[in-house]
Structures are given as structure tokens and as C-alpha cells.
Amino acid sequence: MSATAQPLNEAKLHEFVMKAVGEMGAAMNAVLILMGDKLGLYKAMAGAGPMTSPELAAKTKTTERYVREWLSAQAAGGFVTYDAASQKFTLPPEQAMALANEQSPVFLPGFFQMLQSCFIDEPKISEAFRSGSGVGWHEHHHELFVGTERFFRPNYRAHLIEEWIPALGDTEAKLKSGAKVADVGCGLGTSTMLMAEAYPKSTFVGFDYHPGSIEMANQAAAKAGVSDRVKFDVAKAKDYPGKNYDFVAFFDCLHDMGDPEGAAKHVRSTLESNGTWMIVEPYANDKLEDNLNPIGRLFYGASTMLCTPASLSQEVALALGAQAGEGRLSKLLKSAGFSRVRRAAETPFNIVLEARP
């Protein structure tokens, strides 16, 4: 044994191995969640009470032997309950709210689609580790775009209109009477359309640099019947067109940008003198040690695979990361010319900053 080697603690080794076994089970279950969502297994169980595997297979037009094994894994993980006497499985209402109800504020399967893209794109990210290059959002698998929309939509639906916008001083009154709005980094346009539905007297334009997302957003706006007051265009955060916006919104995207200060300066130049910029960002404390918790772990992981590579693929490549924290963000916004920056609202997963000229 070398002079610097530490003695092995067998109990701690066993504890860690069992922790890793838990991670293995969770990783395998991530795939099973994707399948349960895609095949409609969770939705078929929601509100249906106890079911046998043949009953669930018949209801979903799937094969019983596969369904039996899937249910057994779900029961072992606590996602469903199992009654040995009746050999029936039940999806409790709490799990149904998170796994089967797409209108629920805690609907989760979209995240597992995002995770699927991370596994598919792992070779690209590993190579970026070696080269130091970036991986743009547009370079990821299609499941990322769809999964991101499905994952963020419930959160925005639950908080945007009822909590976040009302917390922004006179902004809600302007939107109700008729305002000019830009939603930058809009992705598939869910946030833009939620606002358009709530404030029909206002006009909205969503910008995103990814043409595929903009195409899907325009299709969604037409389907939702809001195309009269919503349009989507391809543009970057540093050069999107238009002036005199009453309200500009960035949803979970500022930290992904290579030059967030440049983007902030552009926002400043396009706002009305009494306009408002709302920046929704992942929840984070300012110090790393204060983010060493389950939410921080999730966001640091996503930042490693998605956010940091996206920023490093762009000019400046500041790479704020998903856990930038209010302190760093506020400093950046003030450097860009915003004199008033405050935390207007928060959830366990987001902080909402209000910036004014």
C-alpha cells in the first residue's frame, strides 16, 4: 500500500455499491417509463383500480407476458402497488397525476424523453469533452425538442399566468389591455401560446434559432387557433427583429446562450423605456455547496449534457450552466444596462427575475 493510500472501509463500500444498485434500477426504469408512456400503460391504469396483467394487456392491445414483467418492475420500484392475494396491480392517484395526466402540473414523462436524447447523443458529448467544442441544441436527437416541450409545459401552465406575470408590477395590466410581446428562445412555442390564450388583446412573436422548432410552433399555433395574434420566426437572441416591445420573456434559455450579456443588451435595445423583461431560469443557489441536493443534481446533470455544450457551441461561449444562480445572473443583467433587477417569483424548480431599464 502506498503512503497516500487510504484504508478501505468495507461498510462504506457496501453502502456505496447498494446506492449504485439503486441507480441501476432507476436507469432501467427510465426506459420502462418511456415505454409505459408510449404504450399508454399508465393512462390505462389511471383511475381503473386494481388490474391483472391480462386485463391491462387487453386494454392496451399489448402482449400479457411483456406487461406482466413491466408491472413487476413497476411494483418493485414503488410506481405501482401489488396485492399478492388477488395478483392485481394498482396505479395510485399520486403516481397517476405524475405519470398519466398530461394536464397535471407535475407530469413527468417528457423529462424521460429528454433523457432518451441524452443517451442517444452521449457519443457527441463525450467527444466534446475531449475536443472542448460545443454541441448545439439543434444537433441533438428530435426526442429532446418534443420531450422538453412536454416536460416544461405543465410547469408553465401551472405558474405563468396565475403567478409569474402577476408578480411583475404593471405588466399584467398592459397584457390585458394590449401589449407587444417577444418570447425569445421559445422552442415549440408553448409559453408564447399560453400567454396569447390568456391575453387576447396582445400580440406575440416567438423567436428561436432552431428552424425545426419554429416550424412545429407555427403548426401548433394554427391548431390552437391563435395565429391571428401569434407568429413564430427564426432568429437569434442577439439579433431578433422588432422594437418597442412592452414585454420580453426568456424561458429557461438565457444560460444556454454563448453570449448571454450580448443577448441582454439586445433585449435592452428592443424594450420600451418602461418595458419589462422576465427571465425564467432553473432554481439555483449562488454557491455550489448549496446546490448539492436532488434538484441541483438533476440540473447539473442536464447542464452537462445539454446547456453547457449548447453555450460552448456559440460565440463567446460563456457557459453559465443551468445552476448559474441569481447573483451571477443579476450581475450580468446590470452589466447589460438594466438598472432594476429583482426576484419576482420562484418555485422549487425555477427562479423568475424581473429586469427593467
277 has a pLDDT exceeding 90: yes
58 and 146 together in one domain: no
301 has a pLDDT exceeding 90: yes
Quick check: is 297 in a domain? yes
Reported as a single tens digit per residue, the pLDDT across 229-243 is: 999 999 999 999 999
Across the chain, what does the average pLDDT equal? Answer: 97
Count CA atoms within 13 Å of residue 283 on its CB side: 16
Quick check: is 105 in a domain? no
Q: How confident is the model at residue 2 (pLDDT cuts 50, 70, 90)?
A: low
94 and 116 together in one domain: no
- Kindly report the pTM of this predicted structure: 0.93
Structure confidence at residue 174 (pLDDT) = 98
Q: What is the mean pLDDT of residues 84-94?
A: 98
Structure confidence at residue 76 (pLDDT) = 98
197 and 297 together in one domain: yes
Quick check: is 164 in a domain? no
201 and 235 together in one domain: yes
321 has a pLDDT exceeding 60: yes
Instruction: Please give the tally of structural domains in the chain.
Output: 3
Q: What is the mean pLDDT of residues 234-253?
A: 98
Q: How confident is the model at residue 5 (pLDDT cuts 50, 70, 90)?
A: confident
1 has a pLDDT exceeding 60: no
Q: How confident is the model at residue 256 (pLDDT cuts 50, 70, 90)?
A: very high
Quick check: is 288 in a domain? yes
Structure confidence at residue 309 (pLDDT) = 98
H helices present in the chain, as ranges: 10-38, 41-45, 53-60, 64-76, 93-99, 109-120, 122-131, 142-159, 171-177, 190-198, 211-224, 260-270, 294-302, 308-312, 325-335
278 has a pLDDT exceeding 90: yes
Reported as a single tens digit per residue, the pLDDT across 286-297 is: 999 999 999 999
48 and 67 together in one domain: yes
Q: How confident is the model at residue 341 (pLDDT cuts 50, 70, 90)?
A: very high
Structure confidence at residue 6 (pLDDT) = 85
119 and 228 together in one domain: no
